[in-house]
Structure 1
Amino acid sequence: MEATGIGIWGVPLAIFAGAIRVSTPFIFVSLGETITERSGRINLGLEGTLVFGAMTAYAIAVLSGSPWLGVLAAMATGAVFGLVHGWICKWPKVNDIAIGIAMMQFGLGLAFFLGKPFIQPAAPHLPSIPFGAWSNLPQLQAALNINVLFILGGILALFLRWAFKNTRIGLVLRVVGDSTDAARAMGIDPDRVRLLATAIGGSLAAVGGAYLSLYYPGSWNEGISSGQGLMAVALVIFARWNPIGCFLAALLFGGAGALGPALQSVGVTQGYYLFYAAPYVLTLVILIATSSPTRSLAGAPGALSLTK
């Protein structure tokens, strides 16, 4: 998006537009991981789920001509990945982290292998809503051309925030996440709840992948993800397992990712590429800031642990 036509306002406008575009995958992956971790399980395999979801969505959209069928297919494959991860992790002395890394590599490898025939064909893109149609400025029109999935992500964050506090399902999820023994005493099967939570988390992560391949950047290739799946895990910790916090933190990550392109759009030709590392630096800062050997994280589910 060219920002030079509106002067200095081009930088914040470009960052705003970029934050919306870049944040959408973070929103869905972090919301999915929030559901999973609220049940007391961590899933580091979401990077593989994200990329496989991107490949699946693009392939089905190419074959069917419908981007929404691609999204649904991605959700189905994400749920399958989550079910496999959850089923393996229910066994005694199985480490969530190790299984997550294995599933990540499996998802990446399978996506690259099955996706090779779909690198060249063009798929239909997901629709967006032109909220800036009232303006005559092309820059403002482009900034306010918002994809439907971003809006759905915001609605989903509000719904999950309400559901965690006000529904029986939310209560069951929180009980299982806080104490396995307490859940069993209440007649709840923790393994089943965590299995379903991991499947739902994987399904939402795959939606983030579908956004990447069907809207922004809107193509399928083996380098489509830049670690969003892994960064989203840090984002969930930063947001303290709060869906609204995840949405806002995703916007923050998206804005950080938009710094480089925004500077480039106003004519900065030297050094702007350093700002492309901003999301990774932010992830590192968050991990350091939230790590402590002496205190637990506020809002962390009690049963959530890196080892069993």
Structure 2
Amino acid sequence: MMQLNIVDETSPLKAVILGTAHSCGPTPSAEEAYDPKSLEHILAGTYPKEEDMVQEMDAFSKVFEKHGIKVYRPEILEDCNQIFARDIAFVIEDKLFHANILPDREREFTAIHEVLDQIDPNKIIRPPEEVHIEGGDVMPWNDYIFVGTYTGEDYPDYITARTNKEAVEYLKEMFPHKTVKAFELRKSNTDPKENALHLDCCFQPVGKDKAILHKNGFLVEEEYQWLVDYFGKENVFEITKDEMYEMFSNVFSISPEVVVSEKKFTRLNNWLRDQGFTVEEIPYSEIAKQEGLLRCSTMPLIRE
């Protein structure tokens, strides 16, 4: 049996699910877009091609192999976008939560059966139906669980609002020994530069005590300020609106010392190196057109 273990975002990674871009289907129509960035590229005729995305994910896989990490890939479903493994499930401590995602993505969950078959069934948990939650909004950080949410009354109007207030309450019940800290995110169905699709689109811890942050992604300035105070201003890399749009905060930590990043993120990558990190640079700009990047494509199972 596999012993799941995730208590933070950066401890040394041992096993991970990496999505797949194989057989991801034709370019969606404008009506089928789930986020404003995909829509922009569909309309402009610059939506990413499957072969380019497959190459980008292969580069990511090679970095994992180089670092001796066990990589699982989903079973390939025909004409199904299975790149963003983070949306369908997430692990906190020793439990795997099956996200209540958009119904037509349900089969993506069954496609990770190679992993599910190795986990004690009592440790695979399906939240109640009213709990909407996606892995991109959930960040275990030691004694905390950081959660991105949107609790406005117009929640149903936003296809970009993925985690609701019921989810915040549910996590508090499931982990009474942790502090669940929720952050209201700015949502837009139409303007990708005004939309934080998930918490990891405007915030992510790196190393042991540092963070990448985008102020405008947060609706409530005090909540943003709480993070700045928690990590310390000198430990925060603040990204611009354009950098958020390029997904600068959606890098992925293999360990407290090693961060996988997009090779074009020059300003961020230089800062990381100045802070003493090893930066594994890979091309990922085609996948980024779907408003998801490195953290979105992975679902960590075991960290040391």
TM-score (norm 1): 0.22
The structure with higher relative contact order (CA 8 Å, sep 6+) is: 1
TM-score (norm 2): 0.22
Structure with more of its chain in strand, by fraction? 2
